[in-house]
Amino acid sequence: MTAELWSSFSNGERARVFRAPGRVNLIGEHTDYNLGFVLPVALDLAATITVTPSVDGKLRIYSEQHDELREWNPADIGQAERAGHWSDYSIGVARELLRTGYQIEAANLWIRSSVPEGSGLSSSAALEVSSALAFLRGRPIDPIELARLCQRAEVEFVGMPCGIMDQYISIFGRENTAVEIDCRDLHHRYVDLPRDVAFLAVNSMVKHSLAGSAYRQRVEECAAAVEIIRRFAPYVESLRDVTPELLAQAWSSLPDIPARRARHVVSEDARVEAFVAASAASDCSAMGRLFVESHRSMQHDYEISCPEIDFLVDRAISIEGVYGARMTGGGFGGCTVNMMQPDAVEGFREKISKTYEREYQVTPVLIEVNPSRGAGEDSPK
């Protein structure tokens, strides 16, 4: 779409710009919908939406990435149905805002996103949160309610039974800091990371599609484990409540797959706490070991990795100066996150790229993980 055509929809009225970042989860994978702990960071990569008034009463949403325009009558948004399309993330949010009591007004929304889709860096939450801010256009909303609202849009409209981590970190991210989130009570604390460490994400270029993957199945398997464990401890509401001792007590009653899914979640929650403690002590070696333990648990117990991701992890931890590596995100492709000494970064870039290209004939994309700020309004571009 040409800029001239787009400007004709708004007659050159002043634009407002809203942004929401993607994220890398340092540790705590698939624990959020089990009401456990996660430790993500917001990224510089973000979804940015430029909003201008509409001159003809229409709501238009244009995706620069897809080069596609959709439009609606604002009065029809409440009856909009899922289309299996990128616009579902925005329209799902609009419907939830309506249910909460906010009116959706005519406007023109131009979406530009630097968060690669299917990479495990949460492009969907970045789009949801930036869309919500664009629809609100400065109207107040509690930040926790904003995260809940965007999560509901993905669960109930898009149809993905996700936890709240991605939307939460997109809102509460802070520069140079990780955020430990308690996904049950939705409290958080900011966690300073050691200064003498660098984090890099490596995009395998294997695009996962959580909606078409075994994500829902993992949610169901965890729920099945909880139902059996309740026979031993009726107070258990989620795997967050299960201790290693309780899991050992119930182990022989659990089918193999729910047992291994539960073991991943229970051990991963413990790893988050251990990682935060190691970070406070600047114990980079311990942090790296926890990275690798987390990946092996995802690889073998939760079974959400893939050959390309395992290859990247195995090669990364063999490179001098690397403390640890693990898959990050929903799984079945996407990115690894790698922790290393700062002076190892250049050598790591060269070695991991060459070995991956040689093995898979694909060039991986390397992304510096610099914890960034959360969502908000930017100056017009």
Catalytic residues: 166
Residue 102 in tokens: 């906010």
Cα separations in angstroms, 193 against 109, 177, 196, 202, 337: 36, 6, 9, 20, 15
Phi first, then psi: give them for residue 273, nearest 5 degrees: -65, -40
- Interatomic CA distance for residues 57 and 72, integer angstroms: 9
Q: How many CB atoms lie within 10 A of CB 95?
A: 22
The pair of structure tokens assigned to 157 is: 């409209």
Instruction: Specify whether the CB–CB gap between 378 and 217 falls below 8 A.
Output: no
Instruction: Give burial (CB, 10 Å; 0-12/13-18/19+) of 45.
Output: buried
Positive or negative: CA dihedral 56, 146, 154, 327: positive
